[in-house]
Structure 1
Amino acid sequence: MQLLKTSNGGISWQDITANLKKELAVGEAGFAASGTTIRTLPGGHTWVSSGGSVSNIYYSSNYGKSWKVYPLPILQGESSTGPFSIAFLNKKKGVAVGGNYLKDKENTNNILLTNNGGKTWVKPTLPVGGYRSGVTYITDKMLIATGTSGTDISLDGGMTWKTISQLNLNAVQKAKNGTTVLLTGNSGRIYKLIITP
């Protein structure tokens, strides 16, 4: 897996692939459906998720100088399976969503939660409604996940989820300020979800 790092907003890039000591397994890859299989937080924290034949979390706490690898026990084993989006509220609390994009209504083992930065993962009490390719935190308790078979909301930190739409969408992101949430789909479609207190 090639790793590139920028410190100037993308003007120039440094190849830091040599810092990752573990080679990907045969059939292990990253998914780009929502652009959110890589996440960063201030202070040098970086998470990269992989899927396909095997799923892992690659974590760096020092801007990519060194990496730890944690198994991610989400649905995996086929080229169409694995995590398609990750999100972290802070350096400990995070969520991974995905599944099998060829069977987007199945919701077996397609969402996991972590409270220790990705070292270990647990299943929620009530999962999302199917394959999901985007997830984001709105607050510490509220999350939105979306995918080709619908959009879900959680109001308890990700433990239980409720489907709020069955639109075919791909990605979700909260606005930097306020509580507006943007979701995108095919053919350039953009939807705005306004969260009211």
Structure 2
Amino acid sequence: MRRTLQAFSAAHIAVLAVAGCSGPEHAPAATKAVDKGVAAEPIKTSSIDQGSVCKAALKDSQQTSLGVLTAEPMSDKDAVSCYFLMTPEDSKNSAGYVVTLFKNEEALLQEADGTDTLPTKAMPRTVEGRLAAQQVMYGDTWRSSLTVDIGSGQFLFVERYSPGHTVAEKDLISQVRKATEQVLGNLEHRSKQGA
């Protein structure tokens, strides 16, 4: 089954652009208490491709902990993704995670279509000392996502999705943040190892 990347809302992209110019003083108080600034080194992702993206993003034990049944990679010219499915592939009510590495800003912006049926305001955040934008979207499928600036013009997108009204909003937000922190940790470790 071929999956397509989810389109980002224009608001999501705008927050990233503004967050990059504004600094951590505009972050919510809870975020400021955890992350005092943005001083993280760029993450090297050039060696990550369709064949390695799933293992690079989440270790097998992390996938098991998150309830992942299967992992499906995909790629295009400037992005690689992994769909971590928590439900059988043929399920009408799919749930899981999406992790996408965008090699540059242009690739990220190509995913922005601005046509979300139920757009929500993207909120600036920091995750592990990196600027990010958080968004929650509702409908038949609820989605909570974080888009993180990982340096050198690259972006990490992590999304947790589930059928509407089956997982509470605060749980979706918490789950996507936990997964994002795990992915960042794995990518940072890999980058420092020179992989």
TM-score (norm 2): 0.29
Which protein has greater RCO, CA pairs closer than 8 Å, 6+ apart?
2
Give the structure with the higher percent helix: 2
TM-score by length of 1: 0.29
